Amino acid sequence: MQSSSFLFRLPKSRVSNLKIGHHSHLLRRLCPRPFHLPFIIKASIANTTMDPSFVKQHFQQHASAYEKDFGATSSRLAAATLARLPLSSYSASSHILDSAAGPGIVAGLLLSPSPADVSVPGLPVSPAPRITAIDVTPAMIGSFMANKATFGWETADAFVQDSQDLSRFEDAEFDAVVMNLGIFALRDSVAGAAEMHRVLKPGGYVAVTTWKVRRIAEVMQGAVDAIRPNSGLRAMEMPAEWATRKTR
């Protein structure tokens, strides 16, 4: 599966004109004044809609198998994105939001020794920053808390929370917001991005990843349809605009 990621640094100008213009101009709408884009890689921005009840049910059902079946891929993608953050500048006083955290892929990279196939200077971050993790799925937060206990993530905590609704957090609370493979599942990705901007400190970073192409899922779905055409088993579909819209 081919992934996309984007990272942008935002000045603390207020979000404006969110209802104006095409969604591919999201970044310009978020920051109408000039701003610095250190890294943008095939970024797809879409104001599309997914059924929140389906998303929650899907990940609730598959939470226990997520790390086993998908953890390595997700970890490599997250590591490549975290490598673009100013990791050496983070300390015990830093606060990072791990949004749509799942079982703690991002938190694990920030706080624990990396897997053998991941080598990113600055990971894990030491001294450990404070990590706040949220996910809409209770089972995923359960997995996160189990990993916290297993690996000793003393500076991390996690809550069941919709990643589009960050109302529990104050303005300018986080040094960085990371969302690994979650933005396409929000009801309104533009509103979700606006909330990330609101809770970000001046000069902070937002790092987001999404899929560009999901070839493995397509092949596996074709095999299921050929072998058991009436099974009703379907991969979680991603709105097509995420694969067709991009900005640089």
CA atoms within 13 A on the CB side of 112: 19
H-helix or E-strand spanning residue 142: helix 138-151
SS3 of residue 65 by DSSP:
helix
Q: What is the pLDDT, as a whole number, of residue 44?
A: 33
Q: Residue 60: its pLDDT value, please?
A: 80
Determine if the pTM surpasses 0.85.
Answer: no
Structure confidence at residue 191 (pLDDT):
92
3-class secondary structure, 9: strand
pLDDT in tens, 103-126: 999 999 999 999 999 999 999 999
Choose among 15, 2, 147: nearest CA to 80: 2
